[in-house]
Amino acid sequence: MAGPFANALITKLLVTNNLDDEDVSAILSLPIRSQRFDAHTLIVREGDRPEESCLIANGFAFRSKTTFDGQRQIVSLHIPGEIPDLQSLHLHVMDHDLATLTPCFLGFITHMDLRALNGARPNVAAALWRETLVDASIFREWIVNVGRRPGTVRMAHLLSELRYRLEAIGRTTDGAFELPITQLELGDCLGLSAVHVNRVLKELRDEGLIQAERPSFRLLDKAGLEERGHFEPSYLHLSPSL
């Protein structure tokens, strides 16, 4: 497994899991097929039966479902080190779409190789399982976010969440991060219209909480934004002990 993939995956796994040296060696010797994707490109489609899973070395991806009348809901955003379709190892048919948000550098690992790794290193298998469980925890929080919170609170919550997730893998600089995303896409994440997103971002700017010149988001008042978003980070399980 080449440098950028190994770094991304190990960095991400170590946020939430303990791995020993043999676990790390086993992961580093996984064969991986790298591929560059343009932005807004489908990686795996609902209904597909993939035989490999993809690891993000660079860029952002998202999972989504689209209703019968063409309305898209983004159900999750994914960052480097994550394997957004890891579930396809055990759930053979994709029940959602996986696509790139930005240009991505992706690495594809076969299910056969993942199964061999899991068999050889039960600790790694447990770590990968835990990753999918954290994934599910984030979904639960998004359900509450979209189902119950007012628009401005939803946005404050999402931005706080992204800050924590990116900071854990060393991808923020002093509360600032790059997230190339349109108002429409943010709306699809939060169940808001693009117009509402525009208003909500303005409100957070006027309150002095963020600076948003997309693609950059700078959190000016991290604690203030968390409070505005009713945000509490424990659901992210950003430590092996959580």
Partner 1 sequence: MRRYYFDLIDAQGLSVDDEGLECSDTQQVQAEAARALADLAREAIHEAAGGLEQRMAISVRDDDGPVMEVEFSFEIHRSLR
**Residues making contact with partner 1 (CB under 8 A):** 150-151, 182-184, 192-196, 198-199, 202-203, 214
Instruction: Count other Cβ atoms within 10 Å, centred on residue 188.
Output: 22
Report the residue number, 151 or 233, with the smaller CB distance to partner 1.
151
Smallest gap from Cβ 191 to partner 1, in A, equals 9
Nearest to 33, CA basis, from 54, 4, 48, 49: 54
Q: How far is the CB of 154 from partner 1 (least distance, A)?
A: 10
CB of 174 to partner 1, least distance (A): 25
Of 2 and 39, nearer to partner 1 (C-beta) is 39
The tokens for 176 are 């600032």
- Find tokens 């039966």 and name the residue: 49
If the CB atoms of residues 34 and 193 are measured against partner 1, the closer one turns out to be 193
Contacts of 56 (CB under 8 A, 6+ apart): 8, 78, 79, 80, 81, 82, 83, 84, 104, 105, 106
Least CB distance to partner 1 at residue 147 (A):
13
Q: Which of 142, 155, 147 is nearest to 203 (CA)?
A: 155
For residue 230, the minimal CB distance to partner 1 (Å) is: 14
Instruction: Tell me whether residue 63 or residue 196 sits nearer to partner 1 (CB atom).
Output: 196
Q: If DSSP codes are grouped into helix, strand and coil, which group holds residue 129?
A: helix
Give the contacts of 20 (CB within 8 A, at least 6 positions apart). Answer: 123
Output 36 or 40, the one with its CB closest to partner 1.
Answer: 40
How many beta carbons lie within 10 A of that of residue 92, not counting itself?
12
Bond prior to 150 in cis (omega within 30° of 0): no
In terms of CB distance, is 10 or 194 closer to partner 1? 194
Please, what is the minimum distance in Å from the beta carbon of residue 20 to partner 1?
48
Nearer to partner 1, 24 or 153 (CB): 153
**What's the min distance (Å) between Cβ of 212 and partner 1?**
11
Residue 194 corresponds to which amino acid? A
The answer to whether 82 touches 56, Cβ cutoff 8 Å, is yes
